Structure 1
Amino acid sequence: MRRHRTAAGILLTVGALFTGGLVHAGAAEAAPDAADSGPSAATHTTSTAAQHKARTFWTAERMRGATPLDLLLTEQAARTLKAPESHGRSTTVAPTAALASFPQAGGAWTGGGAVAATSGRVFFTFQGRTASCTGNAVTSQNASTVITAGHCVKYQGSWHTNWVFVPGYDNGKAPYGQWAAAKTLTTPQWEASEDMNNDVGAAVVSPLNGRTLTSVVGAQGIQFNGGYNKPMYSFGFPAASPYDGTKLIYCSGNSSKDFLFTQDHGLACNMTGGSSGGPWFTGFNEATGTGLQVSVNSFGYVFLPNRMFGPYFGDVAKALYDKAQAS
């Protein structure tokens, strides 16, 4: 049965979630990597004509003007005013500007290296409006796989359109080109109920000028079932205040397991809307800008404004990845 959710269930620009869309308290002992026996991924295919349209649609002006998806959802939440009942009680979700006043857990990434090319902004159309997230190129059989958040490919029952990945995005410039999605994918659990434990998405992008994505920008490794509580680096292109989407931002520190409603990783970080889908790395080497991707920026709680959460990459995420890299 589809769980009730609101836009507040995503990494909002100035808000966060506290809704009944999370796992119920009784589900807390479920293994985060337990894949069900159903499909490995929900998939949406984009026609060649639609891919061409997407590449021509995203001018420098449109990219600069794209609203972070999370901010659009915050606006929806503000109109909704009340979240659905959560664990038997009604909870008000109120946007707040408090994020800007918290100390930043990282800063602009100036180290260069691989991450400056493998990570990038994701642009798409959501409910008729231009929106953005973050994504990262990973090693794959097809050399064309991008990992992002589930809500950055599909949300509220609809697949996003005009979807492109712009690695190394630089204030309206696309130094490595715009890579249109031939397919976008998400986990069956996100498809069915927008389960935050499985807010993982992927895209398979078409070749550009006869070359595959990772032959141009390189690729980061990816790891599954790697455990909790370890040093992490998180990257993204936050575009909501106090950020403007022009720079790659990072946070780093020791991660922990969410002690509230999900089985996600948690990390001290104040990135804002637009950073959703950005990669989390373990074993990250600052000198080379390389690591193993183990999560994506997903959501935050309104009462913990300086902490961000990302799904555990277990068997469910691996099944999605395997489906994408074989496409």
Structure 2
Amino acid sequence: MRKPLGALAIALLLPLLAVPLAQAAPEASDYWTPDRMRAAAPLDLPTVAPSDVKDVPAAPPAEVAPQAIPNGGGPWTGGGAVVTTAGRVFFSYQGRTASCSGNAVTSANKSTVITAGHCVKLDGAYHTNVVFVPAYDNGATPYGTWTARATYSTPQWNASEDINYDVGAIVVNQLDGRNLTDVVGGQGIAFNQPKAAPTYAFGYPAADPYDGTRLVYCSGTTFNAFLSSGIGLGCDMTGGASGGPWFHGFSETTGTGTLISVNSYKIVILPFWMFGPYFGADAQNLYNQAQAA
């Protein structure tokens, strides 16, 4: 994404916006054929230009090194619940097909997916033809294609696309008479958590050197972000991974954890670090409104 450092300014608080989708759910489902999914361009991760970077250290803060030293990403082969709760988010953006990542969470409506704000709204407009495909596998949709009936972003992202609040939610329709988390399960979600903690990040990066065909993960200890109020993690995931979940307390055995952030942005001169928004009160309000829809 092209959002400059100036976008970090705190926006005026506005009501959360539930957006009616421009295309009916059955049409969106039919639109996303396997070939169209494979051809969808990854939505670029937001980046900050070198000219915007001031006093950025060449290494992670001493209190979290060496755990936060960039360790890259790799395919997730551990199985468990994350294989079905995580998935790709497909949508139409400025006349082209595009993709992000997302994750199903426990919710009152059993139909809520958490993702990044720029994965539901970008450059002043909400995306259309939005669907969530859990457990996506190179065009295969083993748990179906779930069409969105509403999309949400935080007030600050909705007002000015402030990267500090780059959080979005998608509420999906039932599929074959069943709710999303009854079919794929849901991960827990928490707010106001410690910023420095062992963390696993997941997503479907689709920009080089990745191709969006499989679930990828990174792990390490998070640290305070340099250019926002969020958190950072050593990770080389690329465009398309946006919106993928960050977990505290993640079990490699069960594939379960507590979602505390999402893949959000990168600094162009530090490509092996990923940054995510801090889930505070505004993210919690977003989640509460989405799960009540």
Tell me whether the two structures share a fold, i.e. TM-score over 0.5.
yes
For residue 50 of structure 1, the aligned residue among 21, 24, 46 is: 24
Mapped pair 1:225 → 2:192: yes
Match of 1:199 among 153, 157, 166: 166
Aligned CA RMSD, in angstroms, stands at 2.3
Change (3 A) 1:251 1:44: same
The CA deviation at 1:103 is: 7.0
Q: 1:291-306, aligned counterparts within 5 Å? A: 291-306=257-272
The aligned runs of 1:112-151 (5 Å cut-off) are: 112-151=79-118
- The alpha carbon displacement at 1:304 in A equals 1.1
Give the match's secondary structure for 1:44.
coil
Give the structure 2 partner of residue 32 of structure 1.
none
- Cα distance in 2 between the residues matched to 1:37 and 1:319: 12
Q: Deviations over 1:153-184 (max 9, x none)?
A: 00011110100000000000100000000000
Are 2:2 and 1:8 equivalent residues in the alignment? yes
- Counterparts of 1:92-107 in structure 2 under 5 Å? 104-107=71-74
> Could you report, residue by residue, the CA deviation over 1:18-71 in whole angstroms, capped at 9, with x for unpaired residues?
532224xxx8xxxxxxx98642x2210237x61111100000000000000117
Report the residue type matching 1:56 in the other structure: D
Match for residue 43 of structure 2 among 34, 59, 69: 69
Q: Distance in 2 between matches of 1:314 and 1:284?
A: 20
Superposed, 1:22-61 pairs within 5 Å as 22-23=8-9, 38-39=14-15, 41-46=16-21, 50-61=24-35
**Structure 1: segments with no counterpart, 5+ residues:** 1-6, 10-17, 28-34, 78-82, 88-101
Look up the match of 2:63.
none
User: How is 1:162-201 mapped onto 2 (pairs within 5 angstroms)?
Assistant: 162-201=129-168
1:215 equivalent in alignment to 2:201: no
- Residue 63 of structure 1 aligns with an amino acid whose one-letter code is M
Moved over 2 A (4+): 35-39, 102-106
One-letter identity of the residue aligned with 1:279: P
Q: Secondary structure at the match of 2:89?
A: strand
1:87-125 C-alpha deviation (Å, 9 max, x unpaired):
9xxxxxxxxxxxxxx975231000010000000000000
- Taking structure 2 as the reference length, the TM-score comes to 0.90
State the SS of the aligned residue for 1:325.
helix
1:145-160 mapped onto 2 (5 Å cutoff):
145-160=112-127
Kindly tell me the number of residue pairs found equivalent between the two proteins. 279
- Extract unaligned runs of 5+ from structure 2: 54-68
1:309-324 mapped onto 2 (5 Å cutoff): 309-324=275-290
Question: Percent identity at matched positions?
Answer: 58
Q: Amino acid of the residue matched to residue 316 of structure 1?
A: D
Letter in 2 for 1:133: C
**Pairs within 5 Å for 1:277-296:** 277-296=243-262
